[in-house]
Amino acid sequence: MNIQQKAKLASYINFHSSAVSSNINTIQAIVSREDVKKELSEAFDLIRKDWVTVKYSKNTEAGKFIESLLWPLYQGKTILIETNTLDFDPIVYDQLIQFRDNNKFTLSFAQGVPVSPRASIFLSYQGKDDENKIWEIADSVIRVDETN
Q: Kindly indicate the confidence band of residue 24, based on its pLDDT and cuts at 50, 70 and 90.
A: low
Q: Determine if the pTM surpasses 0.85.
A: yes
The total number of structural domains that make up the chain: 1
The Cα–Cα gap between 62 and 133 comes to 19
pLDDT confidence of 90, banded at 50, 70, 90?
very high
- Which three-class secondary structure string do you get for 106-138? CCCCCCCCCCCCCCEEEEEEECCCCHHHHHHCC
At 100, which CATH number?
Answer: 3.40.50.300
**Domain enclosing residue 103, as ranges:** 3-146
